[in-house]
Amino acid sequence: MEVAIVTVGDELLAGETANTNATWLARQLTERGATVTRSLTIPDERALIADSVGEWADAFDAVIVTGGLGDTPDDVTLDAVADAFGREMVVQPAVRERVAEKARQFRAENPERYEKHDFDLNLDETAALPEGARPLQTETSFNPGCVVENVYVFPGFPEELRVMFESVADDFGGDAVSESVPTVTPEGALKDVLAGVRERFDVAVGSYPVHGDSAGRVKVTGTDESEVADAAAWVRERVERPE
């Protein structure tokens, strides 16, 4: 299963917020046997988001989009995903009621904030999703996410993203397996090993360099478990191991 990740947010590109979501998602997907083939960070620009999602939805088995699901003018991700599929934004009654209930709950739990601030909440705008979308709503998130064909749209807040991803985690899987070989061999001295394992085995291979006192590693990935094991053993015989 080939998956692409799109993280949306001006604050990510400005370096104001660390893009921990992309790293976390890539790890989760890889552990489930999927292959993350692309990862892209783009600004809160509706046309650019729509173009990227539309192109990658055709190219990959699944696309995960995170960020831009709030109620401010720069939160345009859901509209952009609707554009990518040529769909209108519609309000599903059950989604609207869930949003309304979350709003009532928040007000009951935070009466002082409601007295101090003027909350301008439009339930229809908050609940609107691309036509035909499968809604994703959790206890931790106020704004709904959704699934449109093979595109999964999650919030940008890490805690909300992780809970929502877990609700559909079984959708992601694959046959990829991997094995890592720890090594203190400098990356610059691994060229022949990396080339050799690619030539001899039907696997992909990557190197992660030594950092300070920490060992590096050579990671071998493929769809045949025995092939991966043989390739890792071949690498293990040709690199310097940590003591």
Burial category of 16 from C-beta neighbours within 10 Å (exposed 0-12, middle 13-18, buried 19 and up): exposed
Mean pLDDT of 67-95: 93
pLDDT digits (tens, 9 = 90+) for 139-177: 999 899 999 999 999 999 999 999 999 999 989 877 778
Per-residue pLDDT, 108: 79
Rg (alpha carbons) of the chain, rounded to whole number: 22
Mean pLDDT of 8-21: 94
pLDDT of 243 over the 80 cut: no
pLDDT digits (tens, 9 = 90+) for 87-136: 999 999 999 999 999 888 877 777 777 666 666 678 899 999 999 999 99
Q: Pull the structure tokens for residue 33.
A: 């046997």
Torsion over CA: 176, 181, 187, 192 (sign): negative
Contact 115, 124 (CB under 8 A): no
Angle at the Cα of 130 from the Cα atoms of 174 and 156, rounded to 5 degrees: 60
Per-residue pLDDT, 120: 66
Burial category of 237 from C-beta neighbours within 10 Å (exposed 0-12, middle 13-18, buried 19 and up): exposed
Per-residue pLDDT, 14: 94
Per-residue pLDDT, 116: 66
Show Cβ contacts of residue 60 under 8 Å, excluding neighbours closer than 6 positions. 2, 3, 4, 37, 38, 150
**Beta bridge mates, 62:** 3
Q: Give the sheet arrangement for strand 204-208, strand by strand.
A: 177-183, 216-222, 204-208
Burial category of 34 from C-beta neighbours within 10 Å (exposed 0-12, middle 13-18, buried 19 and up): buried
* pLDDT cut 90: percent of the chain above it: 65
pLDDT of 85 over the 80 cut: yes
Question: Which DSSP category does 170 fall into?
Answer: G
Q: What are the angstrom distances between the C-alpha of 16 and each of 11, 13, 187?
A: 5, 8, 31
pLDDT digits (tens, 9 = 90+) for 215-232: 888 989 888 899 999 999
Per-residue pLDDT, 65: 98
Q: Rounded to whole angstroms, how far apart are CA atoms 136 and 147?
A: 7
pTM of the model: 0.77
Mean pLDDT of 50-64: 95
pLDDT of 21 over the 80 cut: yes
Per-residue pLDDT, 46: 97
Report helix, strand or coil for 92.
coil
